[in-house]
Structures are given as C-alpha cells and as structure tokens.
Amino acid sequence: MGDGNSEQDNITENGKELDEKAEVNSEKQGSHCKLLAASHSEKSLNSHNQSNEEPPCKQFKSSVNINGDYTNEKFITKFKEHWNNSKPFLFNNSELIVKPFKVTILPNFIEDNFLLTKIREEFNEIEWHKRNMDLYEFLQSSDLKHLGSSKYISIFYKFLEEIAMKWISDITGLELVKVSATCSLYGDTDYLLVHDDQQEDRMVAFILYLTEPDWKESYGGNLQLLNKNEFNEPLDVVRDIFPSNNQFVFFQVTNDSYHQVSEVTSKNNCRLSINGWFHSKLPPIFQAPLYNPPTNGIFSQHFISPQEADIDLSDWISEEYLDDKTAEDIQAHIEENSEISLCSYFKQVVIQTILEELKIDGIHWTQVGPPNRFLYSKLEEKNLPHTLERLLLLFKSEQMFDLLKKYTDLDLKCLKYEMQKWTPGNYMLLSDYDWAERNELDLILYLGCTDPNSVIGGRTMYVSVEDEVQQAFITVEPQENNLNIIFRDTARFTKYFSKQSTCKCFYMLICSYSE
C-alpha cells in the first residue's frame, strides 16, 4: 500500500514491477527512534534485551477480534450500501472516502490494545531491511509468514488470513484468496513517493498503524491521496490521512489509486505499521495512463544543434580548465572512469551574478510532472536576465562543443537541456524513459548549495535498470560550481530532496549531449 502497500518487497509504479530495483546505499545510519511508549521500558531499534515473559497481570489470549462497532449488522449493512454505490459514509469516527478513490478509515480497529503493545515490542527483535531507491526510503521486515519466531506478529498474521480477509471480502463483495504483509518502520527523512500499487493479483491494500498515541501532525508520515488529470495521471494531494495508533485503512487497488507517504520529520519518533495486500484469484485488469512526453527539455526528443555565439570562454570558465594539458588530463580520467567532477569550474563573479539573476521575481518557473515520474520546476526561457541567458547560450555554443571534444574525444552533434529549480519535496524518478535509446554525455552544474552538508538527498545517481538489486555506479553530490561530466550508458534519477535539509533551494543545470 502506498502507505503500506508499496511498503512491500515488490513495489510498483503504474503497474510496472520495481522489485528493489535501483536499491542504493543510504546516507543515514540506523534509526534510533523509540518504539515503545514511555509507560513501558524505553527501547530503541538497536535494543535486543527484551524479556519474553508475559506480565503477571495479563496473559494474552491467542485470538484477535475486530472492534465490535465494525462487525455489527447495522454497520455492515450501511457500509455495503455506501460502498456499492460509491457514496461517502460516516459512522462514529469511521469513514468511507470515495474521492479521489474509495478508501476506508477505521479507528480503534483491534479490540485489545495489549496486542499492539506486544507487537511494538517485537519490532525491536525482528530483522529490518533497508529499502532505498528512487521511489522510497524506509525499513521493512520480511513477509509476516516468515516471522514465526515473533509470537504476536504471527498471531496478527493469522488474524489477517482467517478473520480480516473474510470480513473485508464480505463488506466489499471482492473475492480475496490470500494475504501478503510486512512490518514497516519510517524514521527521520524516510518517505514513499507517488505510486498506484498495481501489480499482478493485488486487490485490496491495507495498513494498521502502530504509532505512539502522542504522534503529532508535525512528524509527517501521513497517507496522502492524489486526484488525477484528464490523462488519468496523478495530479495533486487532495486528502491526508493521519497515522493514528490502532487505525486500520484499506482501499481497492485500481487504475487511479495514487497515493504516497509524506516524509517523516521527527528525529526521535518512528512511524510503525503492518501493511500489505489482500490478493484476488485472478489478476485484475489494469490500464496504464496515457503519458504525453514533454516537447522540450531533458526527457523530450527535441535536440538542439551547436549555435554560433559571440562568447569568449575565458570570460566565464576558470583559466585552468581551458589549458590544453588540463584538457588531456580530463580526457584520460573520463576514459578510465566515465566521469569527472571539475571544482570551481566557472569564475566566482559569474556564479554570483547567475545566482542573483535566478532569484529575480520576473523570471518564470513551470512545475514539471506528473508526480509519479518527477516533481521539480523548470526555467521558462522568456525575457531572461542578460548573464543567465548568456550562460545557457554558452552550453549550446560551438565553442562549448569544441571544448567538450577536447575533454572527451567525442564528436558531439546536439544537446537537450534544462535549468531546474529544486525545493524540499522535489525528486526525479527512473520512470519508463528509454534510457537505452542512446548513450549521452551529461553535464550537471549545481548552484545555490555552498555547503553540501546542508542538502539531504538531492543527489543525482546513475544506475542500471536491468539488475534486480542495484548500486549506484556514479553519484553526483549537489556541490556548488562543480561541473560534473558523465558519459551515461545507464539510467539516471535524482533523490528526493528532504524537508529536513537546512538548504531550502538549489538550482541544477543539466545538459545531455549526443553524438
């Protein structure tokens, strides 16, 4: 589930199985957020000394029950009527949402909170796997069916199989035959971006929240629902669902069940859940939305030939990078490593002027989407300030093509490019762009991030889309005024730019040159 449903081993985007593809190393160390309420012995993720003895005051019975409010005949009759007719429904504190798609929210779902406390204790003992790729970053357990040594988690898994699945099937009319589920843990800066959960026989996505009762809105971790545009692509967040403890949420996986988990922004608290899917006997029929590629920019097929320009590179570029011997050294390094990062590439006075002009109110930025592919802003090249306009012309100029020939020994014939503006919450996913269509030489210039430690995420990563488990071949950090040159024969994405970053805006000029 996008709150829980893509928190599984095999996460999908628009029906395409990602299955841990582009799994990359995390910049963060293990989480140390609290898993237990203060009323119990305080435990962290790395604590492994929990006693298995039952408290003498209470021995837990092996059965789990749904809150009686949701199993009585009055609720079931009313719910069926509203579900079948796609009509909103409120019953006490429970709710059936029908727009942007049908989602059911059931507070106080499990009768006995003692079970939830014991499950949270077992979260300290299970083995966690870091899930880290373009689409998400969080910790996840193995499937619950493999956690037999965790007594209370196993009891809950049996409840999902024998009680919850039958109950959901009864009140929705959907034929469900099996369950898959995992435990998920979102620590500080963890997130899950827009997707729809479509994959094979997934029919109903679900999540049971196990957060502490004092979880605050400011901590993030909401399940966010998105509406769609006329092409059935995701558009905007129109509903936030707060991750209240013992709240059960489920929805049918459909062509437009777009959702995400907002970034967790608490250093001391974890968003905990059990989540997964109920599956159908036969795979539902899904239809991918119509995607209209942009007509210009780096994801288009619009290439620009070298342009004549009255530009003296020595007015712009640091002298050492115009030296023939340096160019030979650059070429040798690229030939061996397929990449190089050239520090302080442009003269400082140029960088200062460009940064000032990028912040002028009169220039226009357009948000790029849809958000199941990318989310950032792109510069519109109308009425640009003089120096900024000349910088873009420099990268298109015959002089720059000639210089890149010295750097790479490539006969480059054309390019496409974008000047991008990045603010916290932006990202660029792998999507289904045809990365193998042609090899390209990428030039990436970051601006506005003088301290690289001020940016969490925001790095550009080059990975293969063919391997099942991935490591980044090349990682480009957002360091100001470094010209990064990468010969690309792989896919490229830019990691989610965290809201916990002290840097609140940077710019990235990215050019792709082709032979």
Q: What is the DSSP string of 85-107?
A: TT--EEETTEEEE-SSS-EEEES
Q: SS3 sequence, 413-456?
A: CEEEEEEEEECCCCEECCCCCCCCCCCEEEEEEEECCCCHHHCC
Among 254, 279, 304, the domain boundary falls at 279
Strand intervals (E) in 78-186 = 89-91, 94-97, 103-106, 129-132, 136-140, 178-186
Same domain, 128 and 252: yes
pLDDT of residue 385: 97
| DSSP three-state, residue 227 | strand
User: Quick check: 394 and 443 in contact, CB under 8 A?
Assistant: no
pLDDT computed for residue 289 by the predictor: 82
Structure tokens at 473: 């071949």
Say if 55 falls within a structural domain: no
Boundary-marking domain end, from 256, 279, 302: 279
CATH number at residue 355: 2.60.120.620
- Position 437 in a domain: yes
What pLDDT, on the 0 to 100 scale, is given for residue 41?
33
**Same-domain check for residues 318 and 365:** yes
Indicate whether 193 and 321 sit together in one domain: no
Q: Do 336 and 467 belong to one domain?
A: yes
Q: pLDDT value at position 49?
A: 37
Residues 266 and 372 in one domain: no
Q: Which of 237, 260, 279 is the last residue of a domain?
A: 279
Are residues 245 and 350 located together in one domain of the fold?
no
Identify which of 222, 224, 263 has the alpha carbon closest to the alpha carbon of residue 500. Answer: 263
Q: Do the domain assignments include residue 273?
A: yes
pLDDT at 35: 58
Specify if 78 maps to a domain: yes
Please give the residue range of the domain that contains residue 405: 313-514
- Please identify every stretch of the chain with a pLDDT value under 70, giving residue numbers as ranges: 1-62, 436, 466-470
% the chain with pLDDT above 90: 77
**Claim to verify: residue 247 and residue 374 sit in the same structural domain:** no
**Environment class of residue 91 by beta-carbon count within 10 Å: exposed (0-12), middle (13-18) or buried (19+)?**
middle
| Residue 266 and residue 219 share a domain | yes
User: 324 and 432 share a domain?
Assistant: yes
Residue 12 domain-assigned (yes or no): no
* Residue 334 shares a structural domain with residue 242: no
Contact 399, 453 (CB under 8 A): no
In a domain, 290, yes or no: no
403 occurs within a structural domain? yes
319 shares a domain with 272: no
102/248 same-domain check: yes
pLDDT of residue 200: 85
Tokens of 344: 């302080």
Using a cut of 0.85, tell me whether the model's pTM lies above it: yes
- 324-375 tens-digit pLDDT: 999 999 999 999 999 999 999 999 999 999 999 999 999 999 999 999 999 9
**What's the CA gap between 253 and 67, in Å, rounded?**
25
Residue 87, CA atoms < 13 Å, CB-side half-sphere: 10
User: How far is residue 346 from each of residues 352, 445, 467, measured CA to CA in Å?
Assistant: 10, 10, 37
Give me the number of domains the chain comprises: 2
DSSP 163: I
Question: pLDDT digits over 57-116, tens only?
Answer: 455 556 799 999 999 999 999 999 999 999 999 998 999 999 999 999 999 999 988 999
Residue burial 309-337, b: 16+ Cβ < 10 Å; e: rest: eebeeeebbbeebeeeebbeebbebbeee
41 within domain boundaries: no
E-assigned strands of 305-429?
339-342, 364-368, 374-380, 414-422, 427-428
